[in-house]
Structure 1
Amino acid sequence: MTITYEYGDNLYINVTNQCPNACDFCLRNNSMGSLYADNLWYEGAEPTKEEILADLKKRDLNSYAEIVFCGYGEPACRWDDMLWLAARLKEMGNYTLRVNTNGLADCITGRNAAPEMHGLLDIVSISLNAPTAEKYDAVCHSKYGPEAFNAMLHFTAEAVKNVPHVVMTVVSTMPAEDIEACRKLCENAGAKFRVREYISE
């Protein structure tokens, strides 16, 4: 199973295949891994946090610009394990740690999760993907329903208080007016804004 994989100058950690969303544009709809690794789907049980750490220790971690919690699922679905790993990595070296997330950690954990990242994560990249709760629900199909949108915005605002670099992203295929509306939401939250290219495979 592919636990860690390289892409560009970074090392990515395939934390989980679980996700509370089923976004229309998600790469998982079209590929087993392709651009990033041959196969990012776990068959059977997902690796334990100890197994993930053992896999990380096989790598020359100093050779990467960033170590990224990402993979083929939402890292917050294993929030406590992710933070445990981040703590172990910070003990091992001065690595730059990033998480790519849908920002629904509060919904997943049932608590105000963002403050728990303080001192552990350096960059948080949050998928915004829509300017309103209705449009978010229509595109992301979250199991938490339209309430997921405000939960994501709350997580972002809290993340800004606790993590040095917070970015909100949208895909380039969105209508221009929606991208601009998302840009304003991002500014209001105090985060940086990035339009990412749509990847279909």
Structure 2
Amino acid sequence: MTITYEYHNSLYVNITNRCSNACVFCVRTKHDNVNGKDDLWLDREPSIEEIKADFEKRDLSKYDEIVFCGYGEPTERFDDLIEIARWIKSKKPDSVIRINTNGQANLINGRDVTPELDGAIDIIGISLNASNAKEYQDICKSRYGEESFEALQDFAKRAKDYVKLVVFSVVDKTIPESDIEICRKIAEDCGVKFRLREYIE
């Protein structure tokens, strides 16, 4: 069972395969891994104790970031994620911790979770992926329908009060150039950064 895995100069954390989206371009529909060696499909979700034990095997000083991002939406296990992040901070306070997310954490957990990010998470990367609610649903197929597009923007606006950096991203080659500029403007209106991500074949 792959819980932590290295990608570039970061240590990634794979805690669930559950996701509220079924994005048409998702890498997990094409590969079992993202680095050629670590199978990210989980037979079951690892316990908090197993996740901590996996971290104990790593030298955290080697990594630029610790990133909650595997073959699922990490905020499906939000409470566990925050507990693990705070544990990491207690062991290595200068750790930079990032969540890669679809931004639907408040919908998934049925409450505003953003205040709980304070002191635990440093960066949040949110996949915007479309310039409007209909196109988002067409591409991402959220179980929450078109309301998820507005919800992820609301999440970003709230989260930036508790974390150092919030970034909206879109994947190139998946939406028209004109829509990329609209997405850039959405990020600006939400008061967060914008990044164009490279499509992974």
Equivalent position amino acid for 1:11 in 2: L
Q: Which residue of 2 aligns with 1:175?
A: 176
Equivalent position amino acid for 1:14 in 2: N
Which is further off, 33-42 or 70-79? 33-42
| Matching of residues 77-116 of structure 1 within 5 Å | 77-93=76-92, 94-116=94-116
Q: Which residue of 2 aligns with 1:54?
A: 53
Is 1:26 matched up with 2:22? no
Equivalent position amino acid for 2:48 in 1: K
Equivalent position amino acid for 1:177 in 2: S
TM superposition outliers: structure 1 runs of 4+ over 2 Å: 34-38
CA offsets, 1:35-90, max 9 Å, x none?
364310011x2101111011011100111000000011000000000000001001
Between the two proteins, the alignment pairs up a number of residues equal to 199
Q: Structure 1 residues 149 and 163 mapped into 2: Cα distance closer, same or farther (>3 Å)?
A: same
CA-atom RMSD, angstroms? 0.9
Equivalent position amino acid for 2:87 in 1: R
Shift of 1:34: 4.1
CA contact (8 A) 2:5 2:38 kept: no
Q: Which residue of 1 aligns with 2:156?
A: 156
Q: Which residue of 2 aligns with 1:186?
A: 187
**2:34 & 2:167 partners in 1: Cα distance?**
25
Q: TM-score, normalised by structure 1?
A: 0.97
The runs of 5 or more residues in structure 1 that have no matched partner are: none
CA contact (8 A) 2:4 2:54 kept: yes
**1:74 & 1:37 partners in 2: Cα distance?**
21
Q: Which residue of 1 aligns with 2:125?
A: 125
**2:37 & 2:187 partners in 1: Cα distance?**
31
CA contact (8 A) 1:5 1:37 kept: no
Is 1:40 matched up with 2:34? no
Is 1:10 matched up with 2:24? no
Q: TM-score, normalised by structure 2?
A: 0.97
